[in-house]
Amino acid sequence: MTLQSRIQSLSETFHPEWVALRRHLHAHPELSFQEHETMAFVSKQLTAWGVEHQTHVTDTGIVAHVKGTDPESRLVALRADMDALPIQEANDVPYASTRPGVMHACGHDVHTTSLLGAIQLLQATREAWKGTVRCIFQPGEERIPGGAKGMVAAGVLASPAPAHILGQHVYPQLPAGHVGVREGAYMAAADEIHLTVRGQGGHAALPHLCKDAVLASSAIIVAAQQAISRMCPPGVASVLSFGRVEALGATNVLPHSVDIQGTFRSMDETWRKRAHDLITTLVHSTAQAHGCVADLDIRHGYPHVHNDVHLAAEFKQAAIAYLGADRVHDLGIRMTAEDFSYFANEVPGCFYRLGTASPEEGNDLGTQGLHTPTFDVDENALKIGAGLMAYAAATVER
């Protein structure tokens, strides 16, 4: 029996156990950098399987090692994130979140379970593959500065460095049993914009006696959108969006200040820096033109995710061998962000997508969007989530 067929057979055998693990994690979510119970739960499983591991890496992270034959001959890494989001779950399922206002709405329960499952598979087949697999359970992906940055600083990719690192993310746009991947630039760098425009409030019927922070804020939002769209080089993907504008006035009251929050996304680091300078100049000059002042804080988020071209090609071939060509899809760029970029900036990385929607016609399980109160998955995806990750870790040589 080949390694591939063994992993596939064991995935069927272990699947009920993985479902139970995922449901426990889903029912007990923890916010970014608060994953203490999650860390303890993962550690308990690793201990039960006899897997060497270290806990409390950057407080709530875990690093485990699985060894095949000739452990010193090769080293590769796998990564999963563990944190949840501040969302109230709306799903009526037995494994719904037991913690008000906290939910695994981005599938990190699936990611953690998939990596646990991959470890279980690699342990069960360790005489059939060579080298060592370093398995990274990362906290805090959902919150700047990102748990990956701290784990890199803590040395999880050093002493020695792995040849490459693989990571996966749930993807409701594909059915369970399918995966997607893209070579090269894949996901955007993401920065937060926090802006307060201060003027002089007063009676809305007497704007000539005020300094209108609402009008100034409106001008800033429109001008910033125009500037980014006109100044961005052709062929460079970029997004500027403002998602929160808070002006606590009334129908007849102009407020003293307006608070604005937004996000800037880009796929090119040179343009990213230039855009920051452009936004800064525009915000202050527009506020001044309206007799107001602006307090601007652009918080640098994650770099863009760049999949190593050769590694992504090798992973794609492994996925085709494991799943069949009709179940492996080429993806376009995404303007969402991921702190996996910090790992991929240190060693060759490949971040791919795991289909989680039900393949049954008329069944909408797993089709709800990420970061929504009704997000869920078809748990058959766990077979591929764990199985393909284990197979790729054992066979991809780049």
Q: Which one is catalytic: 30, 35, 109, 141?
A: 141
Task: Supply 235's token pair.
Answer: 């062929």
Task: Supply 384's token pair.
Answer: 């591929």
Active site residue 12: no
Q: Which one is catalytic: 81, 83, 212, 338?
A: 83
Residues sharing a CB contact under 8 Å with residue 165, sequence separation 6 or more, in sequence order = 76, 77, 78, 79, 136, 157, 343, 344, 347, 348, 349, 350
Beta strands in 36-178 (DSSP E): 52-57, 61-67, 75-81, 132-138, 165-175
Cα 73 to the center of its chain, rounded Å: 31
State phi, psi for 214 to the nearest 5 degrees.
-70, -45
Q: Per-residue DSSP letters for 262-313?
A: EEEEES-HHHHHHHHHHHHHHHHHHHHHTT-EEEEEEE--PPPEEE-HHHHH
The label of the residue with tokens 């997508």 reads 353
DSSP three-state, residue 26: helix
d(C-alpha 351, C-alpha 327), whole Å: 17
Are 192 and 144 a contacting pair, CB within 8 Å? yes
d(C-alpha 180, C-alpha 316), whole Å: 8
Residues sharing a CB contact under 8 Å with residue 188, sequence separation 6 or more, in sequence order = 237, 239, 265, 266, 267, 304, 305, 333, 334, 335, 336, 337
DSSP three-state, residue 249: coil
Name the residues annotated as catalytic. Answer: 83, 141
